[in-house]
Structure 1
Amino acid sequence: MSACLCLLFLFFTIFAEATYPPGGFHHLSSSLRQNKKTSKSKSESPFETRYFPQNLDHFSFRPESYKVFQQKYLINRRFWRKGGPIFVYTGNEGDIDWFASNTGFMSDIAPKFRALLVFIEHRFYGESTPFGKKSHKTAETLGYLNSQQALADYAILIRSLKQNLSSEASPVVVFGGSYGGMLAAWFRLKYPHIAIGALASSAPILHFDNIVPLASFYDAISQDFKDASVNCFKVIKRSWEELDAVSTMKHGLPELSKKFRTCKGLHSIYSARDWLMGAFVYTAMVNYATTANFMAPLPGYPVEQMCKIIDGFPRGSSNLDRAFAAASLYYNYSGSEKCFELEQPTDDHGLDGWGYQACTEMVMPMSCSNQSMFPPYENDYEAFEEQCMSKYGVKPRPHWITTEFGGKRIETVLKRFGSNIIFSNGLQDPWSRGGVLKNISSSIIALVTKKGAHHADLRAATKGDPEWLKEQRRQEVVIIEKWISEYYRDLKEEE
């Protein structure tokens, strides 16, 4: 669901500059092309909105650390009984209402467990901005934005909530998708005394520090399209040369603006390139089996639908025209867009802030191989570092995540250390190649589906869901039920 996963920088590049290869470091779960209409209105929401007075800095005792900001969270007590379990969603990089409206699995299973539902917004996103509109202005304020502070926020809020509900013995299970899934897994490892288990969906916790091949993300997307249609894959692969050729023409950019039906004239070929690539990347991520409206309104299995569009063109048609038509499925499935805004994306979901995280701790390097359908490039870390210094005045710490949370030799380490974590992945999701795909122990389980997309299991159940998705969710419920039963049994033995 989440987003899961996730683009402050022109769709999916960290910086929309020709000097840095496209897609070098992706946002995990969301797209700035998102339309506000894709989220449920507050009148339809089953959640009550609350705000928690949260400390700015949990890890120092300087006077400024005690500054308090209001952290937004959503709560649904409809099915809960005192002493019952509490299901907590560890918020992603955006407006928490958006994630709550796209994580129906928790609401679907709440009646069975009589669970309290809580969705906590991540600091510096949505309404949870410690310095208001100035929160993202300088490195001094953004310095309080990192995953460790976010996890501590969740821990403190959960403890306070349980005290206020006079239900301190209630077991807590954390859920999350994409970056939120990473946070859920890390929360279980860092705060096992607060959460008895975690469901981490589409959580690419191994996409750091060169643990997985740098080309794996784009190779996975390319394989998705190749599986749908080899011709489709070849057309997209050839379209980049045609795009370059148009740009070198005397009136190339005006011609390109006309071809791409832009609202305003293009200033750079890279805007068109990133727009096309963004459509293919995000469609592969959200290649859900049924119609969905998460990143954009899309039909079921949209990769296949894109390839049908490409394959339906007559022989001799331009590869670029075919690629544009396919990308339009992502940006204009409803058919309501009269023109496309390629160079001024809007941030409708409070995503501003991920760029700073990507330039500090969330360093997820990528490259494109010659085998992919995208223009090949090698990772250029030095260029990335320079861009981060230029934009934020900070240098990335590429080894910090694996130092803080681990990742290398994870099978050996967590086998003896961790417990009660579900890592769920769908292999059609390009982020799955950075996820945990094999069981680590009897209680750290990998649930993998061949056709699953980005945190599809966290989405609300529908009548059209395929059997493999229903079975994945059934297994998750059985495992969570086991965790909770063991907890209550242990609690009874202590009495």
Structure 2
Amino acid sequence: MILWLLFLVLASWFRLKYPHVAMGAVASSAPILQFDDITPWSSFDDTVSQDFKSESLNCFSVIKAVWDVLDDRGSNHTGLLELSKTFRACKTVQSADSLGNWLATAFTYTAMVDYPTPANFMMNLPAYPVKEMCKIIDSFPTGADVIDKAFAAASLYYNYTGDQKCFQVEGDDDPHGLNGWGWQYCTEMVMPMTGSNESMFPPASFSYENTSEDCLRYYGVRPRMHWITTEYGGHKIDKVLKRFGSNIIFSNGMRDPWSRGG
């Protein structure tokens, strides 16, 4: 994910920064406007949610409902034991938050790679995986447990090939290189993100102050919050592109969660 996102924003930034060197650039899924207050902070989660909602309102509603149920059942040790069995966790999970993150990762990344053909860019997935996830949820009988539905859908992302006996819900497993992204985020690329009430994810807020403290605690650095827009611009991008930033092809589709940022 890091290289994918970074290379594609760099393509557009290189053209903007050095128009006398680069004749053009192709930037797909390049959120060059996902900084400062240029793009609504809830846009990423809102787009993921709209992807699922466009396939099935029931699918959207099930995912939106699962977080409160998960928190309620995971509020005690007995509940966590049962949830660990339901999620086929390799080890008993210690927090319902871990299960929530596991589900959210599956839904988010599936929306990011919702290609019309089978692909293994992040995980082995079928064509139109968001549609396939919603088919799984919609196939359950009326009254079925929302957690069972959400787990079955997320399993498409984690185990489409069917070869996983259990899932590493907690621990240091980092198949997508997100640990590196944390450092990148905390040193250069602060992208404010929140969750709105319209999203299928729980509401979430963003604070520059809290982000700074988190980065200092985890990495020993404080982020340069506005370095990207200072170095590469972003505000009034329409005028920038008109004056000297031509020949940049932004090829992301509107179902791409990053599309509203670039």
- Smaller-chain TM-score bracket: over 0.9
Among 287, 300, 307, the alignment partner of 2:134 is: 307
Distance 1:344-1:248 versus aligned 2 partners, 3 A rule: closer
- Residue 215 in structure 1 maps to residue 46 in structure 2: no
Q: Offset of 1:255 from its aligned partner?
A: 1.4
State whether structure 2 residue 85 is matched by structure 1 residue 258.
yes
Equivalent position to 1:224, from 51, 55, 75: 51
Tell me which amino acid in the other structure corresponds to 2:109.
Y
- Greater alpha carbon shift after TM alignment, 377-386 vs 283-292: 377-386
Structure 2 CA distance for aligned equivalents of residues 243 and 224 of structure 1: 23
**Structure 1 residues 240 and 226: alpha-carbon distance in aligned structure 2, compared to 1, 3 A threshold:** same
Structure 1 residues 340 and 348: CA distance shift in structure 2, 3 A = closer
Farther off after superposition, 228-237 or 187-196 = 187-196
* Matching residue within 286, 291, 310 for 2:118: 291
SS state at 2:158 partner: helix
Letter in 2 for 1:433: R
Residue deviations 1:290-349, cap 9 Å, x none?
111110000000001000100000111111110000000000000000000011243457
Q: Which residue pairs with 2:249 in the alignment?
A: 422
Provide structure 2 residue ranges, at least 5 long, that are not aligned to the other structure.
none
Distance in 1, Cα, partners of 2:134 & 2:122: 19
How do 1:329-368 and structure 2 match up within 5 A? 329-347=156-174, 352-368=179-195
CA contact (8 A) 2:125 2:160 kept: yes
* 3-state SS of 1:182 partner: helix
Given the superposition, is the C-alpha separation of residues 351 and 324 from structure 1 closer, same or farther in structure 2, using an over 3 Å criterion? closer
Name the structure 2 match of 1:203.
30
SS in 1 for 2:258: helix
**CA offset digits 1:227-251 (Å, max 9, x no partner):** 0000000000011111011112451
Q: Distance in 2 between matches of 1:350 and 1:206?
A: 23
Structure-2 change in CA distance of 1:195 and 1:285 (3 Å): same
Distance in 2 of aligned mates of 1:253 and 1:283:
26
Q: C-alpha distance in 2, partners of 1:429/1:199?
A: 16
Q: Does 1:370 align with 2:206?
A: no
Q: CA deviation at 1:351?
A: 5.9
Say if 1:272 and 1:182 are closer, same or farther in 2 by CA, change over 3 A.
Answer: same
CA distance in 1, matches of 2:205, 2:178: 28
Which residue of 2 is the match for residue 120 of structure 1?
A: none
**Letter of the structure 2 residue corresponding to residue 388 of structure 1:** C
Find the residue that maps to 2:251 and give its secondary structure.
Answer: strand
Q: Alignment partner of 2:25: what SS?
A: strand
* C-alpha separation in 2, matches of 1:367 and 1:216: 8
Q: Structure 1 residue 433 and structure 2 residue 260: aligned?
A: yes
Instruction: Confirm or deny: 8 A CA contact 2:186 2:222 kept in the other structure.
Output: yes
CA offsets 1:183-236 (integer angstroms, 9 cap, x no match) = 011111223343221111110000001100001110001100000000000000
Structure 1 unaligned regions, length at least 5: 1-5, 7-28, 30-91, 93-176, 436-495
1:317 to 140, 144, 152: 144
The match for 2:155 is: 328
Match of 1:19 in 2: none
Letter in 2 for 1:219: D
Structure 1 pair 247–347 and aligned structure 2 pair: CA distance change class (3 A):
closer
**Other structure's SS at 2:27 match:** strand
Select the structure that is richer in helix. Answer: 2
Shift of the 392–345 alpha-carbon distance from structure 1 to 2, 3 Å rule, reads closer
SS across alignment from 2:252: strand
- Distance in structure 1 (CA, Å) of the matches to 2:178 and 2:46: 27
SS in 1 for 2:41: coil
In structure 2, how many angstroms separate the alpha carbons of the residues matched to 1:244 and 1:306? 22
Is 1:275 equivalent to 2:102 in the alignment? yes
Paired residue for 2:208, among 361, 374, 381?
381
What is the alpha-carbon distance in structure 1 between the residues aligned to residue 243 and residue 237 of structure 2?
10
DSSP 3-state at the match of 1:199: strand
Maintained 8 Å contact 2:19/2:245 = no
Q: Which amino acid aligns with 1:266?
A: V
Highest relative contact order (Cα 8 Å, sep 6+), 1 or 2? 2
Matches of 2:165 and 2:43, distance apart in 1: 36
How many residues were matched structurally?
262
Q: Name the amino acid aligned to 1:269.
A: A
The correspondence of residues 31-430 of structure 1 with structure 2, limited to 5 A, is 92=3, 178-347=5-174, 352-430=179-257
Change (3 A) 1:349 1:250: closer
**Cα RMSD (Å):** 1.5
